[in-house]
């Protein structure tokens, strides 16, 4: 029987925010309860309705459910560090974006921003379904680009792990287990990134 652990994170907000935002965090362990293709389609549908510059919708997603060849192909494109824990996830996917505008070869400077909006929708939907999301910069993007036959007009940006909250922290390496069980969360104070006036370089 799985040793499931519920970790209650403490989020010290300075002003009231939605519980779905306050309670969201990025675990490295997940329940062994499977995700279905219908679950995946719900997450993609939420992302589908994200705003984007000129409605170009530059995001592209490669996804695979645990136990399938696609999952293994995605897993093999993760960097070594992320492979130490991402195999706990029930769903892996890779995010890419189209680098140019639709009607000409002009660079789309907003594409990465729009991919972030896409994933914001996905995470909000996932949280409503009790699904945890952990985004990863640690993906071998050149390997993934070749593995999944992207054309030169696309850039692989991130990988993402999904699964229901739960799981056994003892399955993690010791350093990651310590991080997983840490209750207090931290963020920069608002005054460190938002200015009602000129930008201030605080070297942070």
**Residues 11-69: tens digit of each pLDDT:** 999 999 999 999 899 999 999 999 999 999 999 999 999 999 999 999 999 999 999 99
Is residue 47 in some structural domain? yes
**Contact criterion met (CB below 8 Å) for 92 and 134:** no
**Contact criterion met (CB below 8 Å) for 176 and 84:** yes
**Secondary element (H or E) of residue 47:** helix 37-48
CA distance 138 to 81: 8
Residue 143: CATH number of its domain: 3.40.109.10
**Secondary element (H or E) of residue 144:** helix 141-147
Is the confidence at residue 1, as pLDDT, over 50?
no
pLDDT grade, residue 204 (50/70/90)?
low
Is the confidence at residue 83, as pLDDT, over 70?
yes
Is residue 191 in some structural domain? no
From 143, 145, 139, select the one nearest 99 (Cα to Cα).
145
**172 CB burial (10 A radius; 0-12, 13-18, 19+):** buried
Is residue 157 in some structural domain? yes
Is residue 134 in some structural domain? yes
Q: Which of 43-47, 152-156, 159-163, 190-194 has the lowest mean pLDDT?
A: 190-194
Q: Which residue range forms the structural domain that includes residue 31? A: 19-181
Into how many domains does the chain fold? 1
CA distances from 158 to 14, 117, 121 (A): 30, 14, 16
């Amino acid at each position: 029987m799985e040793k499931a652990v519920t970790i209650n994170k403490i989020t010290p907000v300075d002003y009231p925010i939605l519980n779905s935002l306050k309670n969201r965090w990025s675990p490295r362990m997940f329940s062994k309860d499977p995700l279905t293709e219908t679950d995946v389609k719900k997450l993609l549908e939420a992302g589908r309705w994200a705003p984007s510059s000129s409605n170009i919708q530059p995001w592209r997603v490669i996804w695979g459910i645990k136990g399938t060849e696609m999952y293994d192909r995605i897993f093999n494109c993760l960097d070594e560090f992320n492979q130490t824990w991402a195999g706990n996830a029930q769903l892996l996917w890779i995010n890419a974006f189209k680098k140019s505008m639709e009607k000409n070869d002009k660079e789309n400077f907003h594409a990465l921003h729009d991919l972030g909006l896409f994933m914001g929708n996905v995470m909000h939907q996932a949280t409503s379904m009790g699904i945890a999301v952990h985004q990863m910069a640690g993906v071998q993007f050149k390997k993934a680009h070749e593995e999944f036959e992207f054309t030169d007009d696309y850039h692989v940006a991130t990988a993402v792990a999904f699964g229901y909250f739960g799981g056994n922290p003892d399955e993690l390496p010791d350093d990651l287990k310590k991080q997983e069980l840490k209750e207090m969360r931290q963020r920069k104070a608002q005054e460190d990134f938002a200015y009602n006036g000129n930008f201030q370089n605080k070297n942070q």
